[in-house]
């Protein structure tokens, strides 16, 4: 089963660095010299023969990463919609172009994970319960509610803040996937590993964009703090309720560990981020002078994208 992801319309960032008023004075000096083009790559993944337990012998770890396929498509499309709605309020040329590229990448991420979600459903995995939950959360709770005027602008800013915080967490998870060496020691399915790391690399590549867009359109620190708390709690609840549901519904679950113990076991093996991961990142994001450019080396994302089988195939 090969799924081709169409290339969305994108605009490349300027090749020559230009002053960016959205970057706070606390940002690293390197960021002001960055001119990475944020573009959506027309990747494709062939899921034919990919085992449902693509981390062999590790059912819980597989279900942990399956959350990305089950939950992210709706969330990333909603995020792309929100930042698309913010474009009329962004006059800075470089940031405007970066947001367009960011929206294209998020839509491509959604389609890529959705292709594996369809593969799961075609192989008898029940996903509708999870999909109803995420559609309600994204479409009803965090939808636009038809608000206009001041109320509509305030709700747009609130959603920008939540998604900017969520992007920080996905960027650090992406960096975790790129740095993780345990997967290289195991016979993890190479197509799935490429999907996870390609996505992680692009999250790290566009790590600044959502934050800078929020800072440009609103920039309030207390809104940033409040929405980060909502995003952190919401992601944690959604992630772990989903993985618990998928893990517990297995017919052989009586012979398996209770899911919290299975999570601890998988984290100790280095197959999933540890329990303190989200708390640590929330505290980092909450610092008044925080900027995503202070994260790890962005070159690791560039290096992986230069070797990713899916990204290389998209160039052809």
Nearest alpha carbon to residue 31 among 43, 41, 18: 18
pLDDT above 90 covers what percent of the chain? Answer: 72
In this prediction, residue 26 carries a pLDDT of: 38
Instruction: Determine the pLDDT at residue 289.
Output: 93
Q: How sure is the predictor about 14, in pLDDT bands with cuts at 50, 70 and 90?
A: very low
16, pLDDT greater than 90:
no
pLDDT per position as a tens digit, 247-265: 888 755 555 788 999 999 9
- What is the percent of the chain where pLDDT is above 70? 87
Residue 298 has pLDDT above 60, yes or no: yes
Q: What is the pTM of this model?
A: 0.87
**pLDDT reading at 198 higher than 80:** yes
Mean of per-residue pLDDT scores for the chain: 87
What is the rounded average pLDDT of the residues 203-216? 96
At residue 146, φ and ψ (nearest 5 deg) are 70, 20
Q: Helix or strand or coil: residue 3?
A: strand
Helices 59-86 and 221-248, packing angle to 10 deg: 150
As a whole number of angstroms, the distance between CA 270 and CA 61 comes to: 10
What are the pLDDT digits (tens) for 18-53? 334 444 433 333 445 555 678 889 999 999 999 999
Q: Which residues pair with 12 in a beta bridge?
A: none
Asked if CATH classification 2.40.50 holds for the domain at 58-315, the reply, yes or no, is no
The model's pLDDT over 47-89, given as tens digits with 9 standing for 90+, comes to: 999 999 999 999 999 999 999 999 999 999 999 999 999 999 9
- CA atoms of 117 and 66, how far apart (whole Å): 8
Q: Do residues 238 and 124 lie in contact, with contact meaning Cβ atoms separated by under 8 Å?
A: no
pLDDT band at residue 138 under the 50/70/90 scheme: confident
CB 239 within 8 A of CB 71: yes
Q: Where are the domains of the chain?
A: 58-315
Of the candidates 88, 81, 92, 107, the residue with the CA atom closest to the CA atom of residue 10:
107
Span of 30-39, 138-147, 177-186, 228-237 with lowest mean pLDDT: 30-39
Q: How many CB atoms lie within 10 A of CB 77?
A: 18
Q: CA 202, CA 207: separation in Å to the nearest integer?
A: 8
In the numeric block, which tokens belong to residue 175? 């960096």
Query: Tell me, what's the pLDDT at 54?
Result: 97
151, 157, 161, 163 alpha-carbon torsion, rounded to 10°? 90
Categorize the per-residue pLDDT at 295 as very low, low, confident or very high, splitting at 50, 70 and 90.
confident
Question: Do residues 127 and 121 touch, judged by C-beta distance below 8 A?
Answer: yes
CA distance 4 to 205: 22
- The Cα 295–Cα 280 span in angstroms is 13
Q: Is residue 46 classed as helix, strand or coil in its secondary structure?
A: strand
């Amino acid at each position: 089963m090969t799924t081709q992801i169409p290339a969305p319309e994108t605009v490349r960032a300027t090749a020559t660095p230009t002053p960016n008023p959205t970057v706070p004075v606390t940002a690293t000096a390197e960021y002001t010299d960055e001119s990475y083009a944020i573009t959506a790559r027309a990747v494709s993944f062939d899921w034919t023969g990919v085992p449902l337990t693509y981390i062999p012998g590790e059912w819980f770890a597989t279900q942990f990463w399956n959350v990305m396929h089950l939950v992210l498509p709706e969330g990333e499309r909603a995020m792309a919609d929100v930042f698309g709605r913010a474009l009329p309020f962004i006059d800075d040329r470089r940031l405007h172009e970066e947001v367009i590229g960011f929206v294209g990448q998020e839509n491509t991420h959604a389609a890529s994970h959705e292709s594996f979600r369809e593969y799961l459903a075609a192989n008898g995995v029940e996903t509708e319960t999870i999909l109803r939950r995420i559609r309600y959360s994204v479409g009803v709770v965090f939808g636009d509610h038809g608000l206009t005027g001041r109320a509509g602008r305030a709700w747009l800013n609130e959603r920008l803040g939540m998604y900017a915080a969520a992007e920080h967490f996905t960027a650090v998870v992406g960096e975790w996937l790129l740095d993780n060496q345990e997967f290289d020691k195991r016979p993890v399915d190479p197509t799935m590993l490429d999907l996870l790391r390609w996505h992680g690399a692009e999250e790290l590549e566009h790590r600044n964009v959502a934050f800078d867009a929020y800072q440009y359109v609103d920039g309030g620190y207390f809104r940033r703090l409040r929405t980060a708390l909502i995003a952190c709690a919401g992601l944690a609840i959604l992630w772990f309720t989903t993985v618990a549901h998928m893990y517990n519904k297995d017919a052989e679950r009586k012979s398996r560990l209770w899911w919290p113990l299975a999570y601890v076991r998988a984290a100790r093996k280095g197959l999933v981020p540890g329990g303190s991961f989200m708390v640590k990142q929330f505290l980092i994001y909450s610092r008044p002078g925080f900027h995503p450019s202070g994260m790890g080396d962005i070159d690791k994302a560039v290096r992986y994208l230069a070797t990713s089988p899916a990204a290389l195939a998209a160039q052809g």
